[in-house]
Structure 1
């Protein structure tokens, strides 16, 4: 599941927007997991992370 809060944390830790070469982040996801809204999952966060 993809939680918007968790993704913002990853953005800060790995400086995703800056595309820094010294850091790396592999994310494995499944859009079907976004059905877990009761745990904070959000399909739009998944789709944004995919880009």
Structure 2
């Protein structure tokens, strides 16, 4: 990475951040799960 950035020897690259747009539009994922909704009670099995 130091060669690509032409950084001096005393500089140590420790992080790389990739920026850009995807080549294809990703398919949306449904994250809603009715089993995770609880009304006015603690769910059993979590304690």
TM tier relative to shorter chain:
under 0.3
Structure showing the higher helix proportion among its residues: 1
TM-score (norm. length: structure 1): 0.18
TM-score (norm. length: structure 2): 0.18
**Bigger CA radius of gyration:** 2
